Homo-oligomer: A and B are copies of this chain.
C-alpha cells in the first residue's frame, strides 16, 4: 500500500464517485467547543464511502474477471458499493449479507441487480461462505476492507479532505473516522500522511466492539467477542485487517470509544443542524467530536459521517433524543 495507489484510484473513480461536501454548523461548533467539519460521505452514491472502495476494486479488474463476476460479503454498505460498481461495469455480483442487516440495505443491494445470499453472523462464517461460492463460480472476491484496491479507494476520501482543509487554511486537526475493519481509517491515514501531515487520524469505535483500541494498545490484532447486536452495525467487524492494522499502528490513534446512545444523539443533531441523514455507526465520529471533547487536542475536528443507510424506525428513535 502506498500513496500512488490512492492517487491512481482517485483517477479511476473520478466522475463516478461523488466528491462529497464538508458541512459545518455554528451550533455544532459551540456544542463541541471547537470547529467541527463533517465530511458527508452519507451523500456518496449508495449512501456510504464504501462505493469508493467498491468502484476502485472493480475498476482494477481485467475484462475476463469482470465477465465472470464478483462476490462480496458485507453488513450492507460494502454490499451496495460493490453492487453498483459491478452494475456500472456490467459484471455479475453475488453479495453475502448477514440476515440481521438493516432491511433497507438488503433491499437496495437486490435492487442494484446483485444476487443476495443471507447468513447468520453468530453461527456462520462469512469468509468461508464467500470463499466457497467464489470457488464454485470462479468469482473474484472483493473483500470489505483488507484489500489494497479497496483501501486505495477509501483513501480517496482522505485526498479530498487534505485538499479542502488546505483551502480552508486548516493545517492542524484531529480527523475522527468511524472504524470497523480499518479500510477507510487506514486509507485516509495514508492519504493525509502524504498530503496533510498535520491532520491526524483518530479511529472511533462503539462500546463493546473496541477491537482496534485493544489492538493498538497490545500491539497485535485483538478480536471482539460479539459480532452483532449493535445499532452501529455498519462498523462492527471481528478484528482489524492484516493490511489495515499495521497502517493504523503507524499513523493512527489513540482511539475514541463512544456509546450507542451518543451515536443516536449525534444522528439527531446531524438531522437538526446539518440536514443530513447519518446511520448510527456512521455517526460515531461525530459523536466523538461532540461528546468526547476532552479526548481531542486540536482546535478543529474533522468527523467523517461514513454512511446514511438507516431504517426509518431507528432514525425516529434518534429524533426522540432531540426532545
Interface segment, one of A210-218, A227-235, A270-278: A270-278
Q: Within the assembled complex, what's the spacing in Å between the Cα atoms of A134 and B111?
A: 56
Closest CB in chain B relative to A176 CB, distance in Å:
19
Interface segment, one of A49-57, A189-197, A308-316: A308-316
Q: How large is the interface on A (under 10, 10 to 19, 20 to 34, 35 or more residues)?
A: 20 to 34
Q: Does B272 contact A275, Cβ atoms closer than 8 Å?
A: no
Tell me which residues from 283 to 323 in chain A have a Cβ below 8 Å from any Cβ of chain B: 308-309, 312, 315-316, 319-320, 322-323
Closest CB in chain B relative to A17 CB, distance in Å:
13
Q: Does B312 contact A319, Cβ atoms closer than 8 Å?
A: yes
How many copies of this chain are found per oligomer? Answer: 2
Tell me which residues from 64 to 101 in chain A have a Cβ below 8 Å from any Cβ of chain B: 84
Q: Does A271 contact B312, Cβ atoms closer than 8 Å?
A: yes
Q: Within the assembled complex, what's the spacing in Å between the Cα atoms of A323 and B84?
A: 25
Given contacts A23-B43, A111-B27, whether A312 and B275 have CB atoms under 8 Å apart is no
Q: Does B315 contact A319, Cβ atoms closer than 8 Å?
A: yes
Residues of B within 8 A of A272 (CB): 104, 312
Closest CB in chain B relative to A278 CB, distance in Å:
8
Given contacts A271-B277, A312-B272, A319-B312, whether A21 and B18 have CB atoms under 8 Å apart is yes
- A281 part of interface (Cβ distance < 8 Å): no
Closest CB in chain B relative to A303 CB, distance in Å:
16
Most buried by B among A20, A111, A315, A320: A315
- A241 part of interface (Cβ distance < 8 Å): no
Q: Does A312 contact B323, Cβ atoms closer than 8 Å?
A: yes
Residues of B within 8 A of A308 (CB): 275
- Known: A26-B112, A27-B111; 12 extra A-B contacts, CB below 8 A, are A18-B21, A27-B108, A42-B275, A43-B276, A47-B275, A271-B315, A275-B276, A275-B278, A275-B308, A275-B309, A277-B277, A312-B322
9 A-B pairs with CB atoms under 8 Å apart are A23-B43, A26-B84, A43-B274, A104-B272, A272-B312, A275-B277, A276-B276, A276-B277, A312-B323
